[in-house]
Amino acid sequence: MSINLQALSAQLLVGLINGSFYALLSLGLAVIFGMLNIINFAHGALYMMGAFVAYFLLNLAGIGYWPALFLAPIIVGIFGMILERTMLQWIANLDHLYGLLLTFGLALIIQGVFQNYFGSSGLPYAIPDALKGGVNLGFMFLPIYRGWVVIFSLIVCIATWFLIERTRLGAYLRAATENPTLVRAFGINVPLMITLTYGLGVGLAALAGVLSAPINQVRPLMGADLIIVVFAVVVIGGMGSIMGSVITGFALGIVEGLTKYFYPEASNTVVFVLMVLVLLVKPSGLTGRTT
């Protein structure tokens, strides 16, 4: 079989970009799961909101890509914190499945409202001037924006890992994950930390949304199918470790890209098939704790 290097590397790049989104989203899910013990079904909807906030900032307030990259995650993060304070905290002591059902309902509401006003088609969002064009690497043409998405996502993932594993705040966070009552007894405001954690996880989703806006357009349902793939990523990687979910996210993106080149019919399903294989061989996931 002759391999077309140009096409292969193009698909690999698409895979890496999808992998960046998988990594950012599964990282957010893992952070939220660690603290709140819920699976945030609204994650895909909040990712979509991130893209829409960037779109609104540009078209209503004339605020461009660079400020939006910081503003959109903050705005959506605050929205998430409001959700946590008004709803999620009330079900903290119930079966974890209620969290899944509640956030599923939230996802339906958010997606339904946006679909109602914006239909199902995509809205264009231009690539910022500084990242337009591309470079010829000899074996492939690399659009600068796409390279930027991969590198910036990687930096954000590493920064999040550093925040949680290497700082004092992260230490409180990890301690509160293990034993919230004890941490509270030390005078640390655990409910506030839970709210902030949810905001952080949601902010990561919104950031992924902003990054994807120029590539995938801004669509109300952009997160709906994506979140199911991310769930499979989470099952494969397990939610036990931050680095685990990041690496699994990128790796699965690459595998998906390779599948698009070698066997395109299976590119939609390859992540799910891999999930099945992992469950058969190592049910707890690659890095996960058993639950």
Partner 1 sequence: MTTITDNSIPAQTRGTKDEMIAFVIMTALLVAVPFSGLYPFFVMQALCFALFACAFNLLIGYGGLLSFGHAMFMGTAGYVTAHMAKVGTIGFKLPLIGEFMINMGPLSPELSIVFGLIAALVLSVVTGLIAIRRQGIYFAMITLALSQLIFFLYLQTPFTHGEDGIQGIPQGMLFGLFDLSQPITLYYVIMVGFLLGFLIIFRTINSPFGEVLKAIRENEPRAVSLGYKTDQYKLLAFILSGVLAGFAGSLKVFVAQNASLTDVHWTMSGEVVLITLVGGLATLYGPVVGAFVIIAMQQYLAGFGQWVTVIQGVIFVVCVLTFRRGIVGEIAHLFKRSL
> What 8-state DSSP symbol labels residue 132?
-
State which H helix or E strand residue 174 sits in. helix 168-178
Alpha-helix residue ranges (DSSP H) falling in 217-241 = 224-237
Q: Which of 7, 109, 130, 171 binds partner 1 (CB under 8 A)?
A: 109
Q: Which of 53, 102, 173, 210 binds partner 1 (CB under 8 A)?
A: 102
Contact letters (x/-) for partner 1, 82-101, by CB under 8 A?
Answer: -----x--xx-xxxxxx-xx
Whole-number Cα distances in Å, 194 to 31, 38, 228: 10, 12, 24
| 121 lies in the binding site for partner 1 (CB under 8 A) | no
Q: Which of 25, 194, 206, 234 binds partner 1 (CB under 8 A)?
A: 234
CB 72 within 8 A of CB 210: yes
| 49 lies in the binding site for partner 1 (CB under 8 A) | no
- Closest approach of partner 1 to the CB of residue 107, in Å: 7
Q: Which of 55, 79, 125, 231 binds partner 1 (CB under 8 A)?
A: 231
For residues 87 and 255, which CB has a smaller minimum distance to partner 1 in the complex?
87
> What 8-state DSSP symbol labels residue 122?
P
Tokens of 289: 């704790």
Distance between CA atoms of 84 and 78, rounded to whole angstroms? Answer: 10
Contact letters (x/-) for partner 1, 4-43, by CB under 8 A?
Answer: -----------------------------x----xx----
For residues 57 and 270, which CB has a smaller minimum distance to partner 1 in the complex?
270
Distance between CA atoms of 41 and 280, rounded to whole angstroms? Answer: 25
| 135 lies in the binding site for partner 1 (CB under 8 A) | no
| 265 lies in the binding site for partner 1 (CB under 8 A) | yes
Grouping H, G, I as helix, E, B as strand and the rest as coil, residue 87 is coil
64-69-75-77 Cα dihedral, nearest 10 degrees: 170
Q: Which of 108, 140, 163, 258 binds partner 1 (CB under 8 A)?
A: 108
CA proximity to 202, closest of 54, 66, 104, 84:
84
Residues at the contact surface with partner 1, assessed by CB under 8 A: 33, 38-39, 87, 90-91, 93-98, 100-102, 104-113, 115-116, 225, 228-229, 231-232, 234-235, 265, 268-269, 272-273, 275-276, 279-280, 283-284, 291
